[in-house]
Amino acid sequence: MTDNTIDSGPQVGLIMGSDSDWPTMEAAAEALAEFGIRFEVGVVSAHRTPQRMLDYAREAAGRGIRVIIAGAGGAAHLPGMVASATPLPVIGVPVPLKYLDGMDSLLSIVQMPAGVPVATVSIGGARNAGLLAVRILGASDPALQERMSAFQASLEAMVLEKDKALRTTLLG
């Protein structure tokens, strides 16, 4: 029997350690929306709400979530801790803060011990996190994969257009 609740529920969980991360994380939401991906957004902190973080990670797969994007700044333990408590793929976004320019977040997220992977994008790379989530979902959804291919073709067309414009400006 089909579980309509799961089929129509969010496919991606977009979480962040604080609402102050939203200006960075918003780009992930935009990318998901561009591809028509159903997603949920929430603040979950390993440091400040450890029980909520564990509950979220343990229940996500059962609710129909298929990919988790987790953004955090500073001592960014959220993505790794979530990955430790779910079998779902977790994409970590290092959020740059006032000090250390996000290097602290990047190193906190990327240096996971073997066995507990977090797919880490660049500092502030939330758009790529959203696009990576689309690609993961597209691996089992040919129509979505086709849309990703079309998006990639549009990138190529955009670059060729820029190349043409630059040459025209420089060479007349």
Q: Could you list the residues known to form a binding site for substrate, using ranges.
A: 18, 21, 48
Q: What single-letter DSSP state applies at residue 101?
A: G
> In whole angstroms, how close is the CB of 160 to ligand C2R at the nearest point?
38
How many chain residues interact with ligand C2R (CB under 6 A)? 18
> In whole angstroms, how close is the CB of 49 to ligand C2R at the nearest point?
8
* Contact between 48 and ligand C2R per CB under 6 A: yes
Residue with smaller CB distance to ligand C2R, 10 or 79? 79
What is the rounded CA–CA span in Å between residue 108 and residue 100?
Answer: 12
For residue 15, the cross-strand partners are 42, 70
Q: How far is CA 84 from CA 7, 10, 118, 138, 171, in A?
A: 25, 21, 9, 24, 56
Select the residue interacting with ligand C2R from 41, 45, 64, 151 (CB under 6 A). 45
* Contact between 107 and ligand C2R per CB under 6 A: no
Burial 6-23, CB ≥16 within 10 A → b, else e: eeeebbbbbbbbbeebbe
* Contact between 46 and ligand C2R per CB under 6 A: yes
Residue with smaller CB distance to ligand C2R, 39 or 56? 56
Q: Which segment (6-14, 42-50, 146-154, 156-164) binds ligand C2R by CB under 6 A? A: 42-50
What is the rounded CA–CA span in Å between residue 129 and residue 119?
Answer: 9
What is the rounded CA–CA span in Å between residue 172 and residue 170?
Answer: 6
CB atoms within 10 A of CB 155: 9
Residues 3-32 that bind ligand C2R (CB under 6 A): 16-18, 20-21
- How many C-alpha atoms does 78 have within 13 Å on its Cβ side? 31
Residues 75-104 that bind ligand C2R (CB under 6 A): 75-78, 95, 97
Binding residues: 18, 21, 48
Residue with smaller CB distance to ligand C2R, 65 or 76? 76
Which residues sit at the interface with ligand C2R, rule CB under 6 A?
Answer: 16-18, 20-21, 45-48, 72-78, 95, 97
